[in-house]
Amino acid sequence: MTRTEILDELKKVIAPYTTNKEMLASINEQTDLIKDLKINSANLVDIIIDAEAKYDIEIDYDSADKMVNVGTCIDVISEKLNQKA
């Protein structure tokens, strides 16, 4: 899966958890989940759980801790998909 494909799918995972729909439409790898998209820490956990289900991967605590912006989310998802392949 390419980074762009992961980004497109990640937008769908994030959408229910942000009220900032305008920012969601223009997210990029530098977009901060908490500061830019106004996602609280509880919803961040939900996003990680949804991403695990969506991509059929397991995100460990250390990897989840890195997932603060869209780019690091893509990095973690990509890494886990490659480990699974």
Question: In terms of Cα–Cα distance, which of 36, 39, 29, 35 is closest to 70?
Answer: 29
pTM: predicted TM-score of the whole model, two decimal places: 0.92
Mean pLDDT within 69-75: 97
Model confidence pLDDT, tens digit, residues 30-62: 999 999 999 998 999 999 999 999 999 999 999
Please name the fold of domain 3-84. 1.10.1200
The pLDDT value recorded for residue 44 is 94
